[in-house]
Structure 1
Amino acid sequence: MTLLFRLLSCLPLWLLHGLGCALGWVAFLASPSYRGRFLFNAKQAGVSWLSLLGAVGCAGKMVAELPRLWFGRPVRVRWDGDALIDHALDSGKGIVFMTPHVGCFEVTAQAYAKRFGVAGRTITVLFRPPRQIWLRSVVESARQRPGLLTAPTTLAGVKQLIRALKQGQCVGLLPDQVPPMDQGVWAPFFGKPAYTMTLSARLAIQTGATILVAWGERRPWGRGYIVHVRPFEGDLSADLTSASVQINQAMEAVIKAAASQYLWGYARYKAPKLNSHA
């Protein structure tokens, strides 16, 4: 499988995105449950699904671009708001990057590692290991690169994140990802209760790290990406439930601004599962 990924990584990004767009539409048309979830989430957010036709294809692009990002030649990346990172790093504090399921979240960590991580300010990204053993080995080998480390969604992984922040390093995670049971709180997300992780808030509160919101926008026709960085508005509450509401609101703002690249088919309102790693 690694060989297949390496072969696909040789294709130009515009072609991979074209294939991915077709894949996204096949999934949308062939799966009633996926299509229903997509439409429900869009309606819950007050967004007309007709304005989100591009988002159908973007879901497939997210999959198709991975071989190139993991094994291929570097892609073109433009920064928007990187001065916020420079300022945060100069303060000596760690940074908690919060990235919703918008655009290419894989490229945000890679772009940071290439520009800032190789200078000694490593970023550690929280990820949920794939269930398939063959895919797990591909992911682990692909994501290990200079300036970029990974931490699994386990107790050991959380400790790794805390150590990194206390050392003035950076961490990245998707705060709109549904956490396991007893690792989150119910908080409104576009007006509907959603089980929301408290880890991102706990990391910032416990270590005093700076919070930045970041996401990777796909440029059309395979012309690369724009990594947007924005400050977290307001002071994060010390109460985890209130902080989770604030974080959800920050994620909503990004999603509304980049609605055509949000994964509307993501099961954001699903019930949490027991943590098998506990």
Structure 2
Amino acid sequence: MPLIFRFLSLLPLWLLHGLGALLGWLVFALSPTYRRRFIAHARLAGYSLRAVGSAVGHAGRMVAEAPRLWLRAALPPCEVRGAECVEQAWAAGRGIVFLTPHIGCFELSVQEGARRWAPGHGPFTILYRPARQAWLARMLAQARQRPGIRAVPTNLQGVRQMIKALRRGGAVGLLPDQVPPRGMGVWAPFFGREAYTMTLAARLVQQTGAAVILARCERLRLGRGYVLHLQALEQALAPEVDAAVRQINAALEAQIRQCPQQYLWGYGRYKQPREPEVAA
């Protein structure tokens, strides 16, 4: 498998995206469970399969482009729009919490941000949970330790490092629509249905006064690269955690509606949270 990944990393982006689209539709056709979940989640947001059918192919593109992003030193072409909100936050002496939902190439969001701003403001701090397979864990570790990126464990120690980074005026990247372990979130509406939602993003902002910037990295057609959209949260987060979480979910919904054709509708957003891991 590592050899296959290395071979795929050498292919041009247009070919990876073409192969990925085929993979996405193959999985959609062969997995009734995945297909039902995809359609049900899209309908919750008011979309028919016809309206967001291209998201099926984009799910496969996400998988196919991973070797390129993990194993190649040079990043693919990426235009950044809205960079002024980042510059304004740092000019004000604030740390930044970047939030991106499972849309487009979220993997590239932090990589491009780190490439652009880490030299002047320090590494971007992200949470990292090692994969169970040894070969995949090694590859992910390589990807997470790119220049300008600092990966920390998904435990209290990692959270403390995030707080320190923000208080120094650094940046943190999170996927706030990822289902956290039990006890680390609250139930909040997401497209009209209660979803277990992490409180970490809200607590980091409340404890450090960091700015919140929403990031959405869209794929361009024919493998021409990506566009990273950056937008500051319109209103300051509410002081109550539950209200702040609802506010973040609403902001994520708005981001997804900007490009529903690239959202991972098949992601298990409404699943029950797993039990937290107990350190040995």
The normalised TM-score by structure 2 is 0.96
Identity within the alignment, % = 52
Unaligned runs of 5+ in 2: none
Distance 2:45 2:27 in 1: 22
Provide the aligned C-alpha RMSD in A.
1.2
Shift of 1:144: 1.1
What is the match of residue 66 of structure 1? 66
In structure 2, give the amino acid aligned to 1:195. Y
Distance 2:3 2:271 in 1: 35
Distance 1:245 1:83 in 2: 26
What is the match of residue 110 of structure 1? 111
Matches for 1:65-104 after TM superposition, within 5 Å? 65-72=65-72, 73-104=74-105
Distance 1:29 1:12 in 2: 26
Contact kept? 1:124, 1:148, Cα under 8 Å: yes
What is the match of residue 206 of structure 1? 207
Matches for 1:111-190 after TM superposition, within 5 Å? 111-190=112-191
Shift of 1:4: 2.9
In structure 2, give the amino acid aligned to 1:115. R
What is the match of residue 55 of structure 1? 55
In structure 1, give the amino acid aligned to 2:148. G
The normalised TM-score by structure 1 is 0.97
Distance 1:188 1:132 in 2: 34
What is the match of residue 36 of structure 1? 36
Contact kept? 1:122, 1:148, Cα under 8 Å: yes
In structure 2, give the amino acid aligned to 1:175. P
Distance 1:19 1:42 in 2: 24
Shift of 1:6: 2.2
What is the match of residue 261 of structure 1? 262
How many residues align? The count is 278
Contact kept? 2:199, 2:245, Cα under 8 Å: yes
Measured against aligned partners, the alpha-carbon deviations of 1:82-103 in whole angstroms (never above 9, x if no partner) come to 1111111111111000000010
Distance 2:9 2:119 in 1: 23
Distance 2:49 2:143 in 1: 34
Distance 2:3 2:157 in 1: 31
What is the match of residue 230 of structure 2? 229
Shift of 1:131: 2.4
Decide which moves more: 119-128 or 96-105.
Answer: 119-128
Distance 1:136 1:107 in 2: 18
Contact kept? 2:121, 2:169, Cα under 8 Å: no
Contact kept? 1:103, 1:215, Cα under 8 Å: yes
In structure 2, give the amino acid aligned to 1:70. W
Distance 2:21 2:151 in 1: 28
User: Which SS does the other structure have where 1:118 is aligned?
Assistant: helix
Shift of 1:277: 4.1
In structure 1, give the amino acid aligned to 2:259. A
Contact kept? 1:39, 1:49, Cα under 8 Å: yes
Shift of 1:157: 1.4
What is the match of residue 25 of structure 2? 25
Contact kept? 1:81, 1:228, Cα under 8 Å: yes
Shift of 1:127: 3.3
Decide which moves more: 1-10 or 84-93.
Answer: 1-10
Query: Structure 1 residues 13, 277: closer, same or farther in 2, change over 3 A?
Result: farther
Distance 1:74 1:194 in 2: 34
Unaligned runs of 5+ in 1: none
In structure 2, give the amino acid aligned to 1:30. L
